[in-house]
Amino acid sequence: MYKDIGLEQWESAQKWEKSFWDRFVKQQQSIGKLRFLKTFIKKYFKSIEGETSNYWWEKAFDGYNFVPQELGNVIEFGCGPFTNLRLILKNREAHHVVASDPLARHYVTYNGILAKKWKKRQWLIDDHSLEEKLYADGVFDLAVCINVLDHVRDVNLCLANLIRVVKAGGILILGQELTNDDDLRATAEKRQAAGDVGHPHKFSTEETLIPYLEDFKPILHKVVTREKGRLPAWHCGTFVFAGEKQ
C-alpha cells in the first residue's frame, strides 16, 4: 500500500510539473524559430508535436499493435501536453476520446496536439485528478496510464479508479519507470539541484504493481532493463503492461 502524500505536497508536485513543461515548450518554440537550422536539427522539430519520450513508450509497447482498429470510449489519464493517445490512435477510430490531466486546461494553451484536438472538438479534456471518482464503472474500452503514478497524490486510490473504469473485455495500458534505492543514491545530487518534487512516489520493482492487476489477462507484460530504458541513469527498469479486463 502506498501512502497518500497529502494535498500540499501534491500541489507542489503539480507546480513542478507545470514549470517543467513551460520550460520545455518555450525551448522547443525557440528552436522552431531557427529556420535556417531546421534540416540540421530535424529530430528536435519532431518533438515540437510531442515530447520524445512518447516515441520511446510506443516502441516499448510494440507499436500498440494489440489495440483494435475501432474503439468506443478511450481515456488517457495524466495525458500531459503531448499525449500518448496521438500515437495509440494513429490510423484508428474512437467514438469518444478523453484526455485527462489536472493541468489539461493549461496544456491546451501550448497550441500543441492536445489544443488542436480539443479546439476541433475531436477530443474532450478533463482536468480532474485520477483520485476523483468522476466516471462510471466499466465505461471505457481503453484506458491509458503511462508514467503517471509517480506524480499522483494517492497511488492506491488512483489504481482502483483506473481499473474500475475499464469495461469487461476492455484494455488497460499501464507503463511505469522503476526506481530502486541505488538509483536514488546515484541521482540524489541531481534531484536536489533540479528541485525534483514532481515525483513523490517511487516504484522499485514490478511486484509493487502486479498485485493490482489481477483482473486483467496480460496481452503484453515485460520489464525493460536499465540498459534499454529511456533514462538508464535514473531508473533500474521500466514496467510495461497491457491487459484485457476479465
What is the greatest pairwise CA distance in the chain? Answer: 54
- Its pTM stands at 0.91
The answer to whether 128 and 134 have CB atoms below 8 angstroms apart is yes
pLDDT above 80 for 134: yes
Taking residues 202-223, what's their average pLDDT?
96
Residue 50 predicted with pLDDT over 90: no
Instruction: Quote the percentage of the chain above a pLDDT of 90.
Output: 79
What CATH number does the domain located at 7-245 have? 3.40.50.150
Q: Is the dihedral of CA 75, 77, 83, 84 positive or negative?
A: negative
Q: How far apart are CA 230 and CA 227, in angstroms?
A: 9
Show the cell assigned to 167: 469495461
β-strand 124-126 against 93-100: which pairing, if any?
parallel
Nearest to 52, CA basis, from 37, 41, 40, 68: 41
> So what's the pLDDT on residue 133?
94
pLDDT of residue 157: 96
Task: List the chain domain ranges.
Answer: 7-245
Closest by CA to 94, choosing from 119, 55, 124, is 124
In the three-class reduction of DSSP (H, G, I as helix; E, B as strand; rest coil), residue 106 is classed as: helix
Report the amino acid identity of residue 163: I
Burial status of residue 156 (CB atoms within 10 A of its CB: 0-12, 13-18, 19 or more): middle
Residue predicted with more confidence, 96 or 24 = 96
Q: Cell for 139?
A: 465505461
Q: Name the strand (E) or helix (H) holding 58.
A: helix 53-60
Mean pLDDT within 39-68: 74
Are the C-beta atoms of 32 and 45 separated by less than 8 Å?
yes
| Cβ within 8 Å of residue 188, ≥6 positions away | none
Rounded distance, CA 15 to CA 245, Å?
A: 34
* pLDDT for the residue numbered 51: 58
